[in-house]
């Protein structure tokens, strides 16, 4: 009988191992199956869908830049990208944590339902689009249409936000420390109360951000004017 050392770091070099093989090995750990709990991925070279679809309490470190949909559909795992990530980082994340040390392209954590996503650089357009419960913390700035149709969850931006922030937003909470280029339909600035400062402090601590004062942020959310049909505006529909 072969004994598996679950404490050892499993190193996979994508220069010699196929991405399909790596992801299959990570998928095989679902349900508490035996195997290493700590993985290092070398030479990612911008490959797409690295560490996608994980359903296990493991840690995956990607030593370089990642392509589309890195850590998509993540559940339970902690995935850290030591570089930049392209479109769709942590798309439809369910739980766990995804961290990018550099910048991320558009649609970070799109439709995310839970977990925490941290971008230590900037995020591009549509960050948090249609988010459904995920928490997102961006140390830098986000692009236009971020939090478009955001339903629940929280987006924290330590830098600036592009145009049309929170367009058609539902009940997600948005916090921005810097300048907002423009608000989208039905998104308004709201009072930052003590409970929101406490919420921000906890989120920033979870994300490892220790150089941002929660009281310096502004809060944005839904004006709740798009929820129901209004007969007075019938000609506008």
List the domain boundaries for the chain: 106-222
In this prediction, residue 234 carries a pLDDT of 65
Q: What DSSP character marks residue 199?
A: H
Alpha-carbon Rg for the chain in angstroms: 19
**In whole angstroms, what separates CA 111 from the centre of its chain?**
10
Q: How many CB atoms lie within 10 A of CB 46?
A: 15
Return the structure tokens found at 208: 């490892």
Tens digits of per-residue pLDDT, 139-181?
999 999 999 999 999 999 999 999 999 999 999 999 999 999 9
Kindly report the pTM of this predicted structure. Answer: 0.93
Averaged pLDDT for residues 16-34: 96
Tens digits of per-residue pLDDT, 194-225?
999 999 999 999 999 999 999 999 999 999 98
8 A C-beta contact, residue 185 and residue 166 = no
Place of tokens 């220790």: 210
User: Who contacts 50 (Cβ-Cβ below 8 Å, separation ≥6)?
Assistant: 14, 19, 22, 23, 41, 44, 62, 66, 67, 70, 71
Averaged pLDDT for residues 56-75: 98
Averaged pLDDT for residues 58-87: 98
CA distance 124 to 191: 27
Averaged pLDDT for residues 52-61: 98
In this prediction, residue 226 carries a pLDDT of 84
CA distance 210 to 154: 18
Return the structure tokens found at 186: 């039905």
């Amino acid at each position: 009988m072969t004994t598996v050392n679950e404490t050892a770091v499993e190193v996979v070099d994508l220069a010699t191992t196929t991405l399909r093989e790596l992801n299959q090995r990570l998928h095989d750990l679902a349900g508490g199956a035996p195997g290493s709990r700590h993985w290092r991925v070398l030479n990612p070279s911008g490959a797409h869908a690295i560490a996608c679809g994980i359903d296990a309490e493991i840690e995956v470190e990607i030593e370089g830049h990642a392509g589309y949909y890195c850590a998509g559909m993540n559940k339970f795992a902690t995935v850290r990208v030591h570089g930049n990530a392209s479109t769709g980082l942590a798309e439809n994340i369910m739980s766990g944590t995804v961290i990018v040390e550099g910048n991320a392209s558009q649609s970070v954590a799109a439709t995310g339902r839970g977990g925490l996503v941290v971008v230590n650089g900037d995020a591009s357009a549509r960050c948090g689009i249609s988010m459904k419960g995920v928490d997102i913390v961006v140390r830098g700035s986000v692009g236009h249409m971020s939090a478009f149709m955001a339903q629940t969850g929280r987006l924290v931006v330590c830098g600036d936000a592009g145009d049309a922030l929170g367009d058609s937003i539902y009940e997600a909470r948005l916090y921005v420390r810097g300048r907002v280029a423009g608000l989208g339909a039905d998104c308004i600035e709201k009072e930052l109360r003590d409970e929101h400062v406490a919420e921000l402090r906890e989120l920033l601590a979870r994300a490892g951000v220790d150089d941002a004062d929660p009281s310096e942020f502004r809060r944005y959310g839904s004006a709740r004017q798009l929820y129901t049909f209004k007969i007075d505006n019938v000609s506008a529909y």
